[in-house]
Amino acid sequence: MAELKGTFYGVSIGPGDPELMTLQAVRLIRQCPVLAAPQTASGQMLALDIARSALGEALDGKTIVPLYFAMSRDPAALAALHEKAAAAVRQYLDAGQDVAMLNIGDVSIYATFGYLQEILQAGVMPPPWRQACPAFVRRRRG
């Protein structure tokens, strides 16, 4: 089985107000050299913009990985986009870099992080991920 060298963090940046980010979310964003965030077709990265409002220059020098997720009901189209996003993240994890995926809202409820987590976990031992949620933290190993 493959083993990813980096850790994949699902980080909630809260409901949209930068002042509502948890201290743990701020710490993880500062700590991770790579930040992944959903990007719209127009290029906007709202989760990253919110994090930048809270952390400012602390994001300078970080690698930013834009992830495109379509609003579609086509399972094949969604699966293809999830696989593509997981591949974009996997290259950094394989290189030993920790990646924080920024999500608006709770990362454990209907978040795109969950789809990537499943793909990255497939065939990997132990699971290289953590979730940082607004009100609580979920950690799992093996």
The pLDDT tens digits for 30-64 are 999 999 999 998 999 999 999 999 999 999 999 99
Query: Residue 8, Cβ neighbours under 10 Å: how many?
Result: 28
48-52, 84-88, 92-96, 104-108: lowest mean pLDDT where? 104-108
d(CA 107, CA 9): 10
Q: What is the pLDDT of residue 92?
A: 97
pTM score: 0.83
pLDDT score, position 96: 95
Q: Is the pLDDT of residue 123 over 70?
A: no
Q: Are 61 and 25 in contact (CB under 8 A)?
A: no
Measured from the Cβ of residue 115, the count of other Cβ atoms closer than 10 Å reads 17
Beta bridge partners of 14: 105
Average pLDDT estimate for 77-100: 94
C-beta of residue 100 within 8 angstroms of C-beta of residue 35: yes
